[in-house]
Amino acid sequence: MKIGVIAIQGDVSEHVEALERALVQRGEEAEIVTIKHKSIVPECDALVLPGGESTTLGKLLIREGIADEIQDMNTAGKPIMGTCAGLILLATAGDEQVAKTHQHLLGLMDTKVNRNAFGRQRDSFETELELPFLDSPYNAVFIRAPGIVDSGKNVKVLAKIDDMIVAAEQGNILALAFHPELTLDTRVHQYFLDKLF
């Protein structure tokens, strides 16, 4: 098994370490590879799109030829997890901020996103989230977080804060507005790995 983490920018090493911890805990083995260039995504069995600056990430995914490879991976039904900026990139539609910056979206998940749903960096926060696949609350870290404002009928909403969707799933795709890699609790990464093993 090979798990790819897009490594153009963002919380790359944190995701790698979280995946490594989760694999050890479940007694499974997989190679974790960081991806900066094309031709690596097609070799992967699962993929993580981490946080970062979504406009920059979108442009670089196109420039490096990775965007098309991610779309092919989705067509093949392989597990894909997007966190924070990754959630934005997975969407089919965005708010006026997305339009204004000519943000490239991968269009893999039937969602509309608000890029700055929870404000700026100084508005970052942590909160206990109830997630349907966990038996106790999860301490979620939100940093300059986006949110999903609308979703199609095939999207399963996993968590909301007020009216804003902060965790959702569509088939093989898991989208999170928070950063599961910034906590020692590996249960969200475990849930993602359940799609693989």
Which residues does the annotation mark as catalytic? 84, 179, 181
Strand, helix or coil at 63? helix
Judge whether 172 and 166 are in contact, CB under 8 Å.
Answer: no
* β-sheet bridge partners, residue 93: 112
161-177: burial string, b at 16+ Cβ within 10 Å, e else: beebbbbbbbebbbbbb
Spatial distance between the Cα atoms of 161 and 31, rounded to a whole number of angstroms? 35
Judge whether 143 and 181 are in contact, CB under 8 Å.
Answer: no
CA angle (151, 80, 98) in 5-degree steps: 50
Spatial distance between the Cα atoms of 92 and 168, rounded to a whole number of angstroms? 14
Question: Positive or negative, the Cα torsion across 181, 22, 107, 127?
Answer: negative
Spatial distance between the Cα atoms of 143 and 122, rounded to a whole number of angstroms? 8
